[in-house]
Amino acid sequence: MMGDTLQIIDPDGKKVGTVPRVKREVLLRMHRAMVYTRAFDDRCMKLQRTGKIGFSIPNLGVEGVSVGAAAALEPGTDWVCPSYRDFAIAFYHDVPLVHMMDNMFGNQDDFSKGRQMPVHWTFLDPIRWLSISSPLGTQIPHAVGVALAMKRKNEEGVALAVFGDGTTSTAGFHSGLNFAGVLGVPVVFLCQNNQWAISCPIEKQSASETIAQKGEAYGIPGVRVDGNDVIAVYKVVAIAVKRARAGEGPTLIEAVTMRMGGHSTSDDPSRYVPDELIEEWKEKDPRARLEVWLQTEGHLNAEDLERIDQECAQQMADAAKAAGAKARPTLDTVFTDVYQTTPQHLTRQRDWCIGHHSSRGEEVNEKGEFPL
């Protein structure tokens, strides 16, 4: 423990608590998901700065929260209702890299066909992943609804809602927790307290001493965990999932971490995050500490780490290249996927739109791409 915050592996990679039983295969998967997340961050930053994609969300420093949580979920049974900063959950569950990149480019294979912003994924397979939405906190009542539906259908599943510290100020957080507490549904609320909501620090976000304690008002147990300790996060989320599956109701988890990059590729955190804070948190890096511990336990050696790093970077570069080479969505897709049978007024608008662009010489090209 670190005060009232659970820690199992300390920042130096030393074991300071009881390690839960985790298979080696799971540990290696956790590690690879962390490496993929950094490779994704790095690749997307380059793609954005060279004008190839419009936007991305750095996950540097916070990926341990997502990885620990991901390992506690049962794919095909549980639902993830994520925020936009939880990439590692998808990497842990083997969402194909190229599919992650399809969304970044908004190409024809992107499930949202470019109609969502980048990093706003949605999939059903290999993990049930509710579409990410930009308005903060909407995933919280959604997760409660998903959990209620599963409870009513006597399904085994648990819904995991992940959100940031700033999102605890939204109506969605309070109504979602209240609803879940009253109904006792199988949901786990995981707050990634990364200390910042864009440029607003946590001290200005809430007068509560912790976020975990907010659960008390709703009759929900609150737990605080070191978010840079993947093993500790796994442990608390696994316990919360077990409780939820056993019909014992929701848990609120606060994972304390630090956003080490910008809010997005559109801001400059050096304008508002003090340098000393970054220096302090560099020492607590979640990946470095996991790697030290995995080496101490004999699961990986320095050569393995180097090899995995290179493999992940290469695979990510290949995925980006493949996704970037795919065609963009066709113009008619603007009018699809909302109604099973397209209503007449939309058919008229579609025909007008295609006719209009054709009359300006902006026909769909040989790849069938959107002409704008």
Ligand X SMILES: Cc1ncc(C[n+]2csc(CCOP(=O)(O)OP(=O)(O)O)c2C)c(N)n1
Whole-angstrom Cα distance, residue 123 to residue 112? 10
Q: Assess contact for 263 and 269: CB atoms under 8 A.
A: yes
Q: Assess contact for 62 and 85: CB atoms under 8 A.
A: yes
- Residue showing the smallest CB distance to ligand X in the complex: 164
Whole-angstrom Cα distance, residue 64 to residue 162? 13
- Residues numbered 258 to 277 that lie near ligand X (CB under 6 A) are 259, 263
Q: Which stretch binds ligand X (CB under 6 A): 68-76, 130-138, 289-297, 335-343?
A: 130-138
Nearer to ligand X, 134 or 296 (CB): 134
Here the tokens at position 297 are 């336990």
Residues in Cβ contact with 345 at an 8 Å cutoff, skipping those fewer than 6 apart: none
Nearer to ligand X, 134 or 310 (CB): 134
CA dihedral 48, 49, 52, 57 (to 10 degrees): 0
Q: Which residues of 189-218 are buried (b: 16+ CB within 10 A; e: fewer)?
A: bbbbbbbbbeeeebeebeeeebbbebbeeb
The interaxial angle of helices 230-245 and 286-296, nearest 10 deg, is: 90
Instruction: Work out whether 196 is an interface residue with ligand X (CB under 6 A).
Output: yes
Q: What are the residues binding Mg ion (CB under 5 A)?
A: 164-165, 194, 196-197
Smallest distance from ligand X to CB 167, Å? 4
Nearer to Mg ion, 164 or 176 (CB): 164
For 223, the enclosing helix (H) or strand (E) is strand 222-226
Instruction: Work out whether 298 is an interface residue with ligand X (CB under 6 A).
Output: no
Instruction: Work out whether 165 is an interface residue with ligand X (CB under 6 A).
Output: yes
Instruction: Work out whether 198 is an interface residue with ligand X (CB under 6 A).
Output: yes
Smallest distance from ligand X to CB 262, Å? 10
In total, the chain counts a number of residues equal to: 372
Catalytically annotated residues: 259, 263, 272
Helices (H) and strands (E) in the chain, counts: 12, 9
Instruction: Work out whether 135 is an interface residue with ligand X (CB under 6 A).
Output: yes
Here the tokens at position 41 are 């961050």
Smallest distance from Mg ion to CB 194, Å? 4
Nearer to ligand X, 112 or 257 (CB): 257
Q: Which stretch binds ligand X (CB under 6 A): 8-16, 91-99, 117-125, 160-168?
A: 160-168
Nearer to ligand X, 72 or 136 (CB): 136
Contacted by 63, from Mg ion, ligand X, none: CB < 5 to 8 Å by type: none
Instruction: Work out whether 79 is an interface residue with ligand X (CB under 6 A).
Output: no
